[in-house]
Amino acid sequence: MKQLVLASHNPGKVREIQALLAPLAIEVLPQADLGIAETAEPHHTFLENALAKARHASAASGLPALADDSGLCIDALGGEPGVHSAYYAGREGNREARDARNNAKLLAELAPHADRSGHYACVIVMLRRAGDPEPVVAQGRWHGRIALAPRGANGFGYDPLFLLPERGLTAAELSVEEKNRISHRGQALARLLAALT
């Protein structure tokens, strides 16, 4: 496999996945570069949403497709925002504005709770073609806590709030290389690549 379409319009995810696949000499084509619109994510699980995105991108491009669905799951909030992580505080505005609102809402929702533990979850799906009856699926989890205030300028989404207690740093304070090595997406992609070889 020399090329695949990445079923994401999220520039942060695109950068992370391109960097993680670079050593394999696989050209990762973001679906936006091919004029492919995002598809709906109406499902209640990361797996169902990832499959829907991969099938859509593969059908539209005629290429193998890779899709992930991921989000932040907070114990005290019953697993929320979960599959709704990207639009937790609404769909208005650009990605940066949504990220800021999502982080503010998360801090407000967690304010009455002493337990600030949670994890990032990621499910990655790779399809050889849109109708592939045997999608390759891999998962990753990255455990941490929610900080009291945002810290760091790297990363995206909830990274400025996602605290790694053993490091004393948020995900947004890690280098790109370290985050890619230990994150939920990095774990899932490593498992996916192991399954493909």
Phi (first) and psi of residue 13, to 5 degrees: -65, -40
- The predicted structure's pLDDT at residue 49: 95
- The predicted structure's pLDDT at residue 180: 86
Active site residue 69: yes
- The predicted structure's pLDDT at residue 176: 86
- The predicted structure's pLDDT at residue 25: 81
Q: What is the pTM of this model?
A: 0.90
Please give the tally of structural domains in the chain. 1
Strands (E), the chain: 3-6, 27-30, 65-74, 117-127, 136-146, 162-164, 169-170
The one catalytic residue in 68, 69, 99, 159 is 69
pLDDT tens series, the chain, 197 aa = 789 999 998 887 888 888 878 877 888 999 999 999 988 888 999 999 999 999 999 999 999 999 999 999 999 999 999 999 999 999 999 989 999 999 999 999 999 999 999 999 999 999 999 999 999 999 999 999 999 999 999 988 999 999 999 999 999 999 988 998 899 999 999 999 888 77
- The predicted structure's pLDDT at residue 21: 81
- The predicted structure's pLDDT at residue 99: 95
- The predicted structure's pLDDT at residue 41: 82
- The predicted structure's pLDDT at residue 54: 96
Which domain does 46 fall in, by range? 3-196
List the CATH number of the domain containing 137: 3.90.950.10
Q: Coil, strand, or helix at residue 64?
A: coil
The full 3-state SS of 80-128, as one line of letters, equals CEHHHHHHCCCCCCCHHHHHHHHHHHHHHHHCCCCCCEEEEEEEEEEEC
